[in-house]
Chain A
Amino acid sequence: MSNLITLTIDGQEISVPATKTSYDPLGKKKVEIPTTIYDAALELEKKTGKNPIPILCHREHIRPVAVCRVCMVDVGGWTLAPACYRPVEPNMKVQTAATSKRVETSVKILTQLLMADHPSPCEKQQKHGDCELEKLAKDFNVPPSPFAKPAQVKPLDDSSLVIAVDHNACILCDRCVRACNEIRDNQVIGRMGKGYKAQIAFDLNNPMGDSSCVACGECMVSCPTGALTNKSVAIKSDASGDGAKSERITADELKKLPLFEELSRPFLSFNEGSVVRRRFKKGQVICVEGKPGSTAFFIESGKVKIFLQAPLKHVKSKKGKDDQVDWGIFGLIRKFTTGLVDRAADHQDGAAAPRFIPVDAPVSLRFDNPVATLEAGDIFGEMSCMNNYPRSATVAAEEDCVCLEMHRNVLYILQRNKKSRAWLDERYRSRSIENHLRSVGLFATLFSDEAQFQHFVEQMRSRVILKQYTPGEPIFHQGDPADNFYLVRVGFVKVSQDRPGGEQVLKYIGPGGHFGEIGLLSHLPELRELAPPGVRTASCSALDHVELVQISGADFLQLAEQAPQFRERLVKIGVDTLKSNEDQRKKLDGVPLGNFLQQGLMNAQSLLVLDLEKCTRCDECTKACADSHGDITRLIREGLRFDKFLVASSCRSCLDPYCMVGCPVDSIHRRDSREMIIEDWCIGCGNCANNCPYGNINMHGFDELMPDPENPSQKKAYVQQKATMCDLCSDLDGQPSCVYACPHDAAHRMSGEEMLNLVQKGSKT
């Protein structure tokens, strides 16, 4: 017990110990620090029930910085002293605003200065009525501020999924800075700039959502004003079936679950309603493939069945019988029927040889039997939740089960909180890794027997690292030293190369895909002439919220050394990819027309080109296309004009094949010839059709008889959507109907190069 010091505050005597026990910033070590005037005022408050000293930048549990100056008191000097910082001294005579005119004026002016710049009522005041600055102004009866408002309004930072940042409401009290760096040791928030232009910043002044912020919520809880507020989202369930009632779960209840126990209680309280508990009866459907979704499900107890109900088929047009040939006004019209066929009946050229279909769950589904069971502890729906992708599969209760349905803000925090992250990682290692590795095409054909594969899984189990990336975040740059190999678990990765004139996207890699092998293998003799050794040949970045499984280069190479067949396969992939990239680059290098390039025309294998001098706009080409493909046209007679030619909208195999992004089941691919193909396991969600900037992908509905999910023993008719795109009528007779139908010899199919030659020839003559 240290010595007592007696002082007076506004004439009232109080004795306090000279020092108090505190903790070092990270709460690990006890330290004795001097008792401050504010501490003494708190002691006095215990007796009188009143504390005459206001505070904004100070709280008892944090290191005082004395920057807001509203706690200034008169201790007899010419200047005032900050009560939160100044140690008590024997016989100190402290005067607060209650007894000192100087202090009263100071509190008033400081509050008015802050209020002049404060967007009153701020977000916090509007939502909860507890903005500390506005409360101070009210408590001290501060008149409206006579000072000018700031000339500029700063933009809001809305990038974090859980915290909204409004710099206009920030009073630079430093509480979030200390919360982030000292209370939590997360080391993200600092102050930037100087003087009146100073503000808080994340990392290198990155948007909060792109920074290393782990979304612990401590800053938000610390903020006295509406500068850092919670983006709480009340859950709107995606679960179908009204039978599954939602039950609200309190923060206390959540804290008892191991997955949630380390999340900050204030955050969970703020976000109460973002996690609900749902109980499903056996057979009840939880979510339906192709439908929009924005939540993830954590299975608390019971089992669910995850499966694809769409038929594993693709769209196919068949030539009609001869008697169905009609003579139209301008010429021969061919009749076709369009339907769905499966791969056994019709092998698509260039179609992937599927073994597994990736879905938004810790399992991939076997192509030959796309059903799997998920059990307690599993999370599914992460892709839909983080990136708003449609549901990739249908999930129904296999037995009575209880799920926690959560919103993005909560999943986001789970992924970023150390303890929860560790829990999720462990879950992946123990539960999902085997299925994941098995489903990766690269590994699929590698192992001759199951024992070998199991050995491989065991080797990898402790070595894989899960890594999260935010939208736009680079994973590595072209030219970087190659260090790791990656498997994509969640989200899409953009692979691109720097080219003269800009970036060219090579491909998008979604769940089930892998990348990074070329840089690790380029020292091998087979690849030596194609790529510089040991460096990345392309840049990879996260297109949305991405989770990767990282395997270190050393482990990967060890694997390659151990298994000669693996090495061989990798070499082949590497050589093919590099050669294809090189071919494309050579082709592009010769093209002078920037616009031509940008529009993706150069890559096109077969453009529909209309000679506008001959075309009468009769639209027979469009009609023919519709007639050939079940009344759904795959081309629109509009598009880019070059010289006297019009390139009609039909798939042009763009440089940046954006349609490939976001297919929840990885069913849209490029053929070797770079044209697009829709695989059999399309679930008809329509994402690719929405993504195509040229409107060249269409959804086509087919009546199908399907097992009724509510009543599995019966079949039910419903419309199954499938994506279609121009295939040049290659499934017919290779003669595109549009060209065939044109009565004026205006429609031609040609490659990008041929088209360019035509345009250039035209412009010369």
Chain B
Amino acid sequence: MIVQELIAIQERCGYLPEDELRALARRISKPLHSLHEVASFYPHFKLHPPKKVEVHVCQDMTCNLRGSQHLKRQLSALADEINPEQIEIKGVSCLGQCDYAPSAVAINDLVYRGLTHDAVCAKVRAAHASELKPQAPADHGSLGWKIDPYNGSPRYDVVKEFVKSRNGDAILKEIETANLRGMGGAGFPTFRKWSAVRAEKGPVKYVVCNADECEPGTFKDRELLRRTPHLVIEGMVLAGLITGATKGTLYIRHEYHDELHAFNHALDQARAEKICGENILGSGLSFPVDVFISPGGYIQGEESALLEAMEDRRGEPRNKPPYPTVQGLFGKPTVINNVETLAWVPSIVKNGGAWYRDGGVNGAPGMRFVSISGDVNKPGVYEVPFGQTVRQLIFETAGGMRDDQKLKAIAPSGPSGGFLPASLPAAALPPKFVKDRFPPNAQAMDILDLTLDLQTLKEMGSMLGAAFVVYGVKCNIVEEALNCVEFYRNESCGKCVPCRLGSQKLTDILKEVLAGRGSRAQLPMVDELAMTMSISSICGLGMVASNPMTTLMKFFAQDLDKYLK
């Protein structure tokens, strides 16, 4: 209970005073270092009294592209003008409001999105005058998505059906037919994950829904949690009942206030209707669901780091194997699924696996939610088929390029896949991909023609996530790469050497390059560093942390070369 105890102390005292920590250690019989390890690790915890007004400005990816550095400077000047002793302006990692860029800020832990810079300044003044009010909650109405067979009214048909039929095999079969894959980015088949946990013997198993959506440019779970929390709950309950799990937990990032509220509201209803909890619908089956509020940090999205946080330790990824399906939460078999993955399950079971599978286009199976942000006219969350082209996404779905800019790059997986250029050069891609996908003898391919599905991007040596960040030609792609590299440096947990030191050294190198002190001679060494980070880090963060840098070197050599000697 360390994490939750610390949250309680911070709520009471505003920070974590040393005396309180010593008292807590005595009360729960834990050594001091185990408390301090946790308290000093998570960004939510404050070991010193905070200033009266704490302004957290999102500094990542889309916000950076749209001028958050300028906003931060403007706020710092304001703080200096009012009272720098009482106001702190701090850059923080992605707040999950990329579609509202250029302004996503948290003032005294309240998130404000989509305000003009002047309006943010007014909020800071209000906070200083102790008159800060929360922003009006975001809309949580139904948008008629295919994912929601109930169109916004929670009916839990699938759970009701299951407690009668008890036919888990049938449900698994539909999920297998659908070829539903993990929507958190890794794309692991859901059917296999559930089957593995289902096959584990032992009385205690867990289901964890990963709602710790912290990848820059990614905010689709935010919409699903707020607009369709009942689907997430139904997905969790089904996962629990089918795998024989004893408890389900939603692990949600602490900045998602509206979403937490919506989920808790739906959960209360579900409990009241006996959809979860003890003796579900009088069936004798039980599956309680609760919520764990994350103390913060991108790395918590890594599933084993998330489990470490739930077990009251520093949220550092575990060495794998063993995988969570075998040894997960508290060493027990655990299903960890992304919000969207679980939310798709009710409609897949209701409409049949083939319905979902055939929802894809251009030969790709399935449907997905994508978060589009950056230099487009209509950033936001969209339900789209897998296999749509980049052209369709930008020009049909997202309303075209902002200011009619030409396309410079896309980041189809947030920072973790790095950048893809407007024109894909054959020379920089795997020969097999070029042979299969390029017109004969073509030396380049217009990225607008690229279809976005897991298989295609895997074959081209890239990856597809839920983020889709669009960069117009007005941006400086080298500076944007530095922003991404810094993100990983900031969010590295520090457990393993390649990631902890590599992400810092990459940042150092790119800063030197931007300062005109880089040399071409060091590029092979950067390649070696990137490879070492990829093949020897403990978790995915370290493995992908160099991608912004390597894709910059691979696809944007001309932009980079301007800075090199």
Q: In the assembly, what is the distance between CA of A582 and CA of B457, in Å? A: 81
Which A residue sits closest to B506, measured CB to CB?
A: A147
Instruction: Indicate if the CB atoms of B31 and A194 lie closer than 8 Å.
Output: no
Q: Which of B103-111, B124-132, B376-384, B496-504 contacts A (4 or more CB under 8 A)?
A: B496-504
Q: Which of A75-83, A307-315, A431-439 contacts B (4 or more CB under 8 A)?
A: A75-83
Q: Which of B389-397, B405-413, B528-536 contacts A (4 or more CB under 8 A)?
A: B528-536
Q: How distant is A477 from chain B, measured CB to nearest CB, in Å?
A: 9
Our pick among A113, A171, A190, A195 for the contact of B37 (Cβ within 8 Å) is: A190
A298 at the interface (CB under 8 A from B): no
A109 at the interface (CB under 8 A from B): yes
Which bracket fits the contact residues of B?
A: 35 or more
Instruction: Indicate if the CB atoms of B501 and A191 lie closer than 8 Å.
Output: no
Our pick among A106, A202, A212 for the contact of B536 (Cβ within 8 Å) is: A106
A116 at the interface (CB under 8 A from B): yes
Residues of B within 8 A of A446 (CB): none
Q: Which of A114-145 contact B (CB under 8 A)?
A: 114, 116-117
Most chain-A CB neighbours within 10 Å: which of B18, B512, B538? B538
Q: In the assembly, what is the distance between CA of A201 and CA of B496, in Å? A: 18
Q: In the assembly, what is the distance between CA of A194 and CA of B41, in Å? A: 5
Instruction: Indicate if the CB atoms of A195 and B33 lie closer than 8 Å.
Output: no
Query: A114-B501, A201-B40, A202-B33 are contacts. A79–B543 as well, Cβ < 8 Å?
Result: yes
Our pick among A102, A171, A187 for the contact of B497 (Cβ within 8 Å) is: A171
A760 at the interface (CB under 8 A from B): no
Residues of A within 8 A of B33 (CB): 181, 187-190, 201-204
Residues of A within 8 A of B497 (CB): 67-70, 110, 113-114, 171-172
Q: In the assembly, what is the distance between CA of A195 and CA of B535, in Å? A: 19
Instruction: Indicate if the CB atoms of B34 and A190 lie closer than 8 Å.
Output: yes
Q: How distant is B272 from chain A, measured CB to nearest CB, in Å?
A: 40
B319 at the interface (CB under 8 A from A): yes
Q: In the assembly, what is the distance between CA of A82 and CA of B536, in Å? A: 8
Instruction: Indicate if the CB atoms of B503 and A196 lie closer than 8 Å.
Output: yes
Q: Which of A128-166 contact B (CB under 8 A)?
A: 146-148
Q: Which of A269-284 contact B (CB under 8 A)?
A: none
A105 at the interface (CB under 8 A from B): yes
Instruction: Indicate if the CB atoms of B37 and A204 lie closer than 8 Å.
Output: no
Residues of A within 8 A of B536 (CB): 69, 72, 79-80, 106, 110
Q: Which of A179-233 contact B (CB under 8 A)?
A: 181, 187-198, 201-205, 212
Most chain-A CB neighbours within 10 Å: which of B22, B314, B492, B505? B505
Which A residue sits closest to B36, measured CB to CB?
A: A204
Q: In the assembly, what is the distance between CA of A68 and CA of B497, in Å? A: 5
* Contact count A vs B, C-beta below 8 Å: 143
Instruction: Indicate if the CB atoms of A181 and B538 lie closer than 8 Å.
Output: no
Query: A80-B536, A106-B535, A201-B40 are contacts. A196–B522 as well, Cβ < 8 Å?
Result: no
Query: A106-B535, A191-B314, A194-B493 are contacts. A172–B498 as well, Cβ < 8 Å?
Result: no
Q: In the assembly, what is the distance between CA of A188 and CA of B43, in Å? A: 23
Instruction: Indicate if the CB atoms of A80 and B508 lie closer than 8 Å.
Output: no
A755 at the interface (CB under 8 A from B): no
Instruction: Indicate if the CB atoms of B501 and A203 lie closer than 8 Å.
Output: no
B77 at the interface (CB under 8 A from A): no
Instruction: Indicate if the CB atoms of A79 and B494 lie closer than 8 Å.
Output: no
Q: How distant is A213 from chain B, measured CB to nearest CB, in Å?
A: 11
Instruction: Indicate if the CB atoms of A196 and B525 lie closer than 8 Å.
Output: no
Classify the interface of chain A: helix, strand, loop or mixed: loop
Our pick among A67, A148, A172 for the contact of B538 (Cβ within 8 Å) is: A67
Q: Which of B221-258 contact A (CB under 8 A)?
A: none
Q: Which of A62-96 contact B (CB under 8 A)?
A: 65-70, 72, 78-80, 82, 85
B495 at the interface (CB under 8 A from A): yes
Our pick among A79, A147, A191, A195 for the contact of B491 (Cβ within 8 Å) is: A195
Our pick among A105, A148, A189 for the contact of B531 (Cβ within 8 Å) is: A105
Residues of A within 8 A of B494 (CB): 172, 191, 193-198
Our pick among B34, B314, B492, B496 for the contact of A196 (Cβ within 8 Å) is: B492
Which A residue sits closest to B488, measured CB to CB?
A: A195
B537 at the interface (CB under 8 A from A): yes
Instruction: Indicate if the CB atoms of A203 and B36 lie closer than 8 Å.
Output: yes
Q: Which of A49-67 contact B (CB under 8 A)?
A: 65-67
Our pick among B35, B43, B297, B522 for the contact of A146 (Cβ within 8 Å) is: B522
B527-551: contact bitstring with A at CB < 8 Å (1 yes, 0 no)?
0110110111110000100000000
Instruction: Indicate if the CB atoms of B537 and A69 lie closer than 8 Å.
Output: yes
B72 at the interface (CB under 8 A from A): no
Instruction: Indicate if the CB atoms of A82 and B319 lie closer than 8 Å.
Output: yes
Q: In the assembly, what is the distance between CA of A202 and CA of B34, in Å? A: 10
Residues of B within 8 A of A190 (CB): 31, 33-34, 36-37
B489 at the interface (CB under 8 A from A): yes
Q: In the assembly, what is the distance between CA of A205 and CA of B32, in Å? A: 9
Which B residue sits closest to A105, measured CB to CB?
A: B528
Q: In the assembly, what is the distance between CA of A66 and CA of B35, in Å? A: 23
Q: In the assembly, what is the distance between CA of A11 and CA of B37, in Å? A: 43
Q: How distant is B545 from chain A, measured CB to nearest CB, in Å?
A: 11
Q: In the assembly, what is the distance between CA of A110 and CA of B35, in Å? A: 31
Residues of B within 8 A of A205 (CB): 36, 40
Our pick among A80, A108, A146, A181 for the contact of B535 (Cβ within 8 Å) is: A80
Q: How distant is B535 from chain A, measured CB to nearest CB, in Å?
A: 5
Residues of A within 8 A of B297 (CB): 194
Which A residue sits closest to B16, measured CB to CB?
A: A204
Instruction: Indicate if the CB atoms of B528 and A110 lie closer than 8 Å.
Output: no
Q: How distant is A37 from chain B, measured CB to nearest CB, in Å?
A: 13
Which A residue sits closest to B37, measured CB to CB?
A: A190
Which B residue sits closest to A151, measured CB to CB?
A: B508
B490 at the interface (CB under 8 A from A): yes
B281 at the interface (CB under 8 A from A): no
Instruction: Indicate if the CB atoms of B319 and A192 lie closer than 8 Å.
Output: no
Which A residue sits closest to B501, measured CB to CB?
A: A113
Q: In the assembly, what is the distance between CA of A212 and CA of B31, in Å? A: 10
Residues of A within 8 A of B538 (CB): 66-67, 69
Residues of A within 8 A of B314 (CB): 191
Q: How distant is A274 from chain B, measured CB to nearest CB, in Å?
A: 28
Most chain-A CB neighbours within 10 Å: which of B43, B496, B497, B504? B497
Instruction: Indicate if the CB atoms of B534 and A79 lie closer than 8 Å.
Output: yes
B21 at the interface (CB under 8 A from A): yes
Instruction: Indicate if the CB atoms of A191 and B37 lie closer than 8 Å.
Output: yes
Residues of A within 8 A of B509 (CB): 148
Query: A190-B34, A196-B489 are contacts. A110–B500 as well, Cβ < 8 Å?
Result: no
What are the nearest 8 A-B pairs in CB distance?
A: A190-B33, A198-B494, A187-B31, A109-B532, A113-B501, A190-B37, A203-B32, A192-B40
19 CB contacts below 8 A, A to B, read A65-B319, A66-B496, A69-B496, A70-B497, A79-B534, A79-B535, A79-B536, A105-B528, A106-B531, A147-B501, A148-B505, A172-B494, A181-B31, A187-B34, A188-B32, A192-B40, A194-B41, A196-B492, A198-B493
